[in-house]
């Protein structure tokens, strides 16, 4: 069932991590189009300053995504303000670099708290509202690293693999309620993702991991030079939210597309190479 209760087809959006990057681009484009936006950040003052918005269509919210109660309160406040929630974009997250041996248990868990459990907290909180209204679209931001990861980013890749996996199953679980799910895998975009407040690198590097150090150095040199335009990425996400049949998977960026297709070729080759062994596991007799 489609939402027919919109004013001129405008939607109510709930966007996490909205004070910078994709989130900020989304908020600005949506508000400029007259849509209603609830946006979360750890720093609401920064969010309000970055958007320059004080209109009744904009609800800035301070949220700790790792705290289930904080997320639930934000979702309820959004519903109380706008009377529905049409689109959720789980955008908040950060990068974490280092070999597994170099990163502490605390660093790993903190990364999963935001990149994975924050997404789960939002989904759990919004689902009762979307089920009741029998429509909605949940858009989860993963990364090309969740499809084709690179050296030195194991934990980041693990969180983004998790987002893809949970999105694929969520889509099956909620389709009977008229709710759509899309998982987005961007490549390199000219956001502040490589800045210090969005990227954590190991504080305990081990000399033996020179390839990891070299990879990190190359990525840091890309800051401000990434080929992707975040405004185009935001516009693409807004567009698919208007589609009657939005994609489950969406790659953003030529680099993401090329890496994903290369990974498909590798998987196809490896699976076929071991086909006979894979199929030989049945009991005999």
What gap in Å lies between CA 86 and CA 14, rounded to an integer?
8
DSSP 205: -
What gap in Å lies between CA 248 and CA 131, rounded to an integer?
19
Sorted by sequence, the CB contacts under 8 Å of residue 103 that are 6+ apart come out as: 96, 155, 202
Residue in the structure block whose two tokens are 């990149």:
115
- Report the residue count for the chain: 285
99 carries an active-site annotation: no
Are the CB atoms for 228 and 189 separated by under 8 Å?
A: yes
28 carries an active-site annotation: no
- The token duo for 101 is 């041996």
- The token duo for 272 is 């076929």
Closest CA to 120 of 45, 16, 196: 16
Helix (H, G, I), strand (E, B) or coil at 36: strand
Catalytic residue among 11, 28, 36, 160: 160
Catalytic residue among 79, 156, 209, 219: 156
Sorted by sequence, the CB contacts under 8 Å of residue 56 that are 6+ apart come out as: none
198 carries an active-site annotation: no
Give the number of other CB atoms < 10 A from CB of residue 272: 10
What gap in Å lies between CA 165 and CA 269, rounded to an integer?
22
Catalytic residue among 19, 41, 111, 142: 142
Element (H, E) at 97: strand 95-97
State the catalytic residues: 142, 156, 160
């Amino acid at each position: 069932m489609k939402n027919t209760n919109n004013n001129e087809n405008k939607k109510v959006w709930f966007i996490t991590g909205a004070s910078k990057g994709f989130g900020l681009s989304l908020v600005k484009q949506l508000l400029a189009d007259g849509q209603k936006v609830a946006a979360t950040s750890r720093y609401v003052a920064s969010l309000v300053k970055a958007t320059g918005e004080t209109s009744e269509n904009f609800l800035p919210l301070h949220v700790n995504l790792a705290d289930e109660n904080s997320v639930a309160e934000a979702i309820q406040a959004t519903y109380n303000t706008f009377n529905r929630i049409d689109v959720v974009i789980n955008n908040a997250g950060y990068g974490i670099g280092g070999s597994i041996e170099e990163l502490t248990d605390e660093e790993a868990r903190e990364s999963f708290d935001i990149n994975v459990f924050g997404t789960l907290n939002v989904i759990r909180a919004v689902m009762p509202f979307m089920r009741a209204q029998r429509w909605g679209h949940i858009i989860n931001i993963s990364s090309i690293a969740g499809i084709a990861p690179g050296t030195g980013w194991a934990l980041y890749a693990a969180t983004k693999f998790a987002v893809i996996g949970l999105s694929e199953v969520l889509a099956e679980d909620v389709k009977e309620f008229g709710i759509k799910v899309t998982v987005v895998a961007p490549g390199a975009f000219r956001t502040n993702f490589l800045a210090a407040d969005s990227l954590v690198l190991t504080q305990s590097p081990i000399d033996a991991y020179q390839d990891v150090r070299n990879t990190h150095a190359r990525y840091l040199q890309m800051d401000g030079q990434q080929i992707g335009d975040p405004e185009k990425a935001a516009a693409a996400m807004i567009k698919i939210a208007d589609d009657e049949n939005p994609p489950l998977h969406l790659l953003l960026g030529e680099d993401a597309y090329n890496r994903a297709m290369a990974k498909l070729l590798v998987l196809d080759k490896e699976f076929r190479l071991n086909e006979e062994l894979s199929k030989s596991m049945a009991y005999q007799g």
